[in-house]
Chain A
Amino acid sequence: MKTFLMLLTLFLLSGPVAGQPAASAASERQEDSSVSAQQAAITARFAAVNTIESRFTQEKHMALLDKPVTSEGLFYFEKPGRIRWQYTKPFQNGFLIDGKKTYRLEKDQKEEQKNPMAYNLAAQLLAWLTFDLETLSKQYSVQFTPQGVILMPLKEGFISQITVTFSATNPQALSRVEIAETGGDKTVLRFINPKTNQKLPAEAFK
């Protein structure tokens, strides 16, 4: 069932990609040279990130929940494509890509996801967390704010807006990502003490 739900996730995620052959908004954005310069600067800043290590909290605000649910976890990233996204509370689950294979994490177990479709999820998550503006700008229009950026989907879908706040202490890291949904639900990710370009623990991708 988990695999099947992943498949469905991919169906859902694929919507904006497959359904927007001509993103005219992209050309409009480029008309503003100052915005382009700002975007280029941010892109260059985040492109220089080789590793990220951070704790995070995740708040889920959903109409179907009696009260918001907060989860905690760890996040590791290493260029070009290693990532560990692991919840530690209230469940111990997540996923891991060690550069070659994708695994689903469940407590102390890891189960290989042979289906490469798991890369879809990783690509989406990676684009947000490493702030890959080149990829993001294909799916979202980008508005710059003093604290970060606001991403608006180019096509109607589950997400109505993503607000990204850059870390005040580390310009190459994010401090907060808020994903607002069209139905009113939202997810807030907060990154605690994000460290970039530092040696990661050996067990990070094991």
Chain B
Amino acid sequence: MSKWFHWIKTYRAAAMAGVGILAALCLWGLFRLKFAESVSVMIPSGVRERVELFQSSPLNAKTFVVVTDKDPASALAGARRLREYLAEEKVIILPPAQGARFALSMVKAFPYRFTERDAQEALKFIVPQVIAAQMKDNFQNLMSFQGSFLKEMILLDPLGLAKLMGEKLKTFDVTSSMNYADGFLISKDGTAAIGVYEAAFDPGNLSASSRFKEVFNQARTKGILPASSRAFYLGAARYTEENSSIIRHDLKLITLLALLGLAALFAVFFRRKRALWIFALPFLVLAPSALVTYAVFGGISGITLGFGSVVAGLAVDYSIYMYFALCGTTKPVLKTARKLWPHLLYSYATSVACFAALLFSSISLFKQIAVFSIAGLTFALLLAVFVFPVFWKHLPPAPAFGFWKVPKLSKTAAAVILCLLLWGGMAGALKLQINGDLTSLNSVSKTFEEDKRVFDNAFFRQNTGAGLLFVFGDNEENALENNEEVGRRAGVPLAVSQVYPSQKTKEENLARWRKFWAKNGEKTRTLVRENALFWGLKPSAFKPFEYLTSLVQDPDVFDFTAFYNPFTQIGGRCAVVNMVPDSPVFSRLQIPGIKTVFVSAEAIRKDLASGMAAEAVKILFATLLLSGGLIFWFFKNKRDTLLTFVPVAGAFSFTFLVFWLAGVKVNLFILAFLPLLTGLGVDYGLFELIKHRAGKSTLYPQTALAAAALSTFIGFGVLALAQHAVLFIIGLSACVGIAGAALSALFLLPPLLEDE
């Protein structure tokens, strides 16, 4: 250490330049990093498969464009005009027009989907009286205004068998209570028309999502919609845009407030240019830490980098302790640094141990955060001990603050307060509300929440009990076969199997169709001809029907995938996605030899909540065990080890108590905060313990602890003012947790440390 100090003292300018160049290089590298974001890295492994499947479900990638109006006709007209406009602007891809070809192909596809039940139902259509009534109806329809449009359909299917095929398609309707008009889903009262589109861009791409928003807003100003109508869109593009815009807003606000807060802190506690090194520390530490993390994982999440403010808040403490230890001392810097080294090392080791606990988590993101934090703390310690002190020679005494002379509590009073705090914390922890909703990790505006409410009312109100059943297979055909088997075993025919039968089933259905018409065809065709003559229609016009019911049929070219594509590829396997009710029939379905996964919002919520609770216990246990073990190893004293955790207990108790009383719902990012809070608490506890052991040493002024706590508090406590849910919960936890930890360390721990 002395050689290093001597070298750095001799080549001060070179050392400063070296630090600057290294920092600049790291920053350059940081800006070249590509951030990899996926919600699956943020959740426990036990829930991951379901979430990934949910993400790949047919509806998940769609953009929902909603037009509402008190007048149903205006809502539909507005939705239609908006669809045209968005397609013209090339921001959505329209499904192929559902023209005559689609309708006719639907009827021609029926023989390939002609089930036993259909055969039973079809018997009702070939009764002479029914045919007579149907032919009258056909004639009326032909003679009506819309007759021209229906003509081909009537000539192909004068019996109206398409109704049976239509029922198969109707079961696909994700919202069976909704109507379907001109490609739109219509709410029950008709006041909301919802278009479901493929976005013509990557909805996760910010600039593309912003362009969509711009085009969408222009539709309003260009008068595309009736004045009485309201329009909005939902989906990944909206989430991307909202998240980004809220983060941008948060960053501006937080940076400004943090700078103001830190400036105030500087003015109160430091007041010297040389102390600015402390405030430069985050910039010097975060970029290399990010590069290390990137090198370890081959990628880094923006959230990990966002966690940097938290790490910086903790890392800056080493430099603060060093700074205040050097203030006013006449002893050589090297000697003071050496004296402080054990404390900083203990503090560093326990913090590293706390973050290392995240490595035991099954959440990939937490492992990233662990590596990132450990790297950051390491760089911070090295700078605080080996670089900064060289620039802090002959520091005048730190400002003294009379108001810091807080009343000293008696040992009994401290113990009683601590017990009360622990009791309150325990009660709070038991009542803690966990928000297992994944969407809570996204941050959205109030307008978005209102839009979502309208959408849910119109679209999902009657479908809260819906779920997705994924049936796996080696390929599409195998997955379809397995899907049919699952339907048979569950005793409920699955809608997908009705419209997408396997090849084998198609052949069986076609054979059934031919057998049916071999038996009933001649009689039925004769009845159709007779009725046609009665209404003045040429019997020969019904040739398409005669061909359909003969032994020769056109190939099956029916394509429904533009409306509902049930296939998805997961992990090299193919799965068929079924929309089913959230009932035990499907949620507990287990069929030997066939892999099925049931996914519903409710199931994910429950899994996530229980997964988070398990993770919390695991992380907390590992944190306490690792840091406690280290402290005991350092001090070889059970009582002191336990007392070091008083600020930790105070921090957790205060946090849980406040969250309970304020009704704060925590999301899974509270898990990342547990080791941080432990680290901070242990850090403060260690400070007080070492100060107590050092007796009247000036190395450990209370001002140092107060300044460290306040810098951390300001550094990321301002995040509590953020709108983003993740940043908010980190900020709020920081505010409350640091307050609990610092107050416990400053007021409760000293009297408890007093010898009997």
Contacts and interface: CB of A to CB of B under 8 A. Distances in A.
Interface stretch (A10-18, A43-51, A142-150, A164-172): A10-18
Contact of B183 (A5, A9, A14, A114): A14
B99 A91 contact: no
Interface stretch (B149-157, B331-339, B458-466): B149-157
Given A12-B149, A18-B97, 11 more contacts: A6-B146, A7-B166, A9-B146, A9-B149, A11-B98, A12-B150, A14-B182, A64-B538, A85-B145, A125-B145, A187-B148
Interface string B645-683: 000000000000000000000000000000000000000
A123 to B, nearest CB: 7
A1 B140 contact: no
B597 interface: no
A60 B182 contact: no
A193 interface: no
Contacts of A21: 84, 87-88, 94
B417 to A, nearest CB: 66
Contacts of A11: 98-100, 102-103
A1 B73 contact: no
17 contacts: A4-B162, A7-B180, A8-B103, A11-B98, A11-B99, A14-B97, A14-B182, A18-B83, A21-B94, A60-B143, A63-B541, A66-B537, A71-B143, A85-B145, A93-B140, A157-B100, A181-B148
A90 B166 CA distance: 30
Contacts of B96: 19
A179 B190 CA distance: 31
A18 B148 contact: no
B383 interface: no
Nearest to B96: A19
- The DSSP consensus for interface residues of chain A is mixed
Contacts of A7: 166, 180
A10 B88 contact: no
A22 interface: yes
A117 B186 CA distance: 9
B753 interface: no
B148 A158 contact: yes
Interface in B13-36: none
Most buried by A among B143, B145, B179: B145
Interface string A46-85: 0000000000001010111111010100000000010001
Nearest to A13: B149
A15 B84 contact: no
Contact of B100 (A6, A125, A158): A158
Given A2-B137, A85-B145, A125-B145, A19 B186 contact: no
B571 interface: no
Contacts of B541: 63-64
A201 interface: no
Interface of B: 71-73, 76-77, 80, 83-84, 87-88, 94-100, 102-103, 134, 137, 140-151, 153, 155, 160, 162-163, 166, 179-183, 186, 190, 536-538, 541
| Chain A, interface residues (CB within 8 Å), range | 35 or more
A159 interface: yes
A141 B581 CA distance: 48
Contact of A87 (B77, B100, B144): B144
Top-9 shortest CB links A-B: A117-B181, A15-B99, A19-B97, A64-B541, A21-B87, A116-B190, A1-B160, A12-B149, A15-B97
A9 B99 CA distance: 9
A100 B71 CA distance: 7
B179 A116 contact: yes
B125 to A, nearest CB: 10
A74 to B, nearest CB: 13
Interface of A: 1-2, 4-19, 21-22, 58, 60, 62-67, 69, 71, 81, 85, 87, 90-91, 93-94, 97, 100, 114-117, 119-123, 125, 138, 157-159, 179, 181, 185, 187
B162 A8 contact: yes
A64 B181 contact: no
A4 B179 contact: no
A179 B151 CA distance: 14
Given A8-B150, A65-B538, A93-B144, A1 B134 contact: yes
Contacts of B80: 17
A52 B77 CA distance: 22
Given A1-B137, A4-B160, A10 B148 contact: no
A157 to B, nearest CB: 7
A14 B538 CA distance: 29
Nearest to B164: A4
A57 B98 CA distance: 31
A185 B137 CA distance: 20
Given A10-B182, A62-B142, A4 B100 contact: no
Given A1-B163, A21-B94, A22-B88, A14 B99 contact: yes
Contacts of A125: 145
B730 to A, nearest CB: 45
Contacts of A71: 143
B84 A17 contact: yes
A133 B443 CA distance: 45
Contacts of A115: 179, 181, 186
A14 B183 CA distance: 8
A22 B213 CA distance: 20
Contacts of B190: 116
Given A11-B103, A12-B100, A117 B179 contact: yes
Nearest to A106: B140
Given A18-B183, A66-B538, A117-B180, A179 B97 contact: no
A91 B95 CA distance: 38
A91 B150 CA distance: 18
A100 B100 CA distance: 30
A115 B188 CA distance: 8
Contacts of B77: 119, 123
B99 A12 contact: yes
A4 B181 contact: no
Contacts of B83: 18
Nearest to B169: A7
A119 B160 contact: no
A81 B73 contact: yes
B137 A114 contact: no
Contacts of A17: 80, 84, 182
A100 B70 CA distance: 10
Contacts of A119: 72-73, 76-77, 181
Nearest to B182: A14
B251 to A, nearest CB: 38
A155 to B, nearest CB: 8
A120 B181 contact: yes
A117 B73 CA distance: 9
A10 B182 CA distance: 6
Given A11-B102, A18-B94, A185 B151 contact: yes
Most buried by A among B83, B94, B160, B190: B190
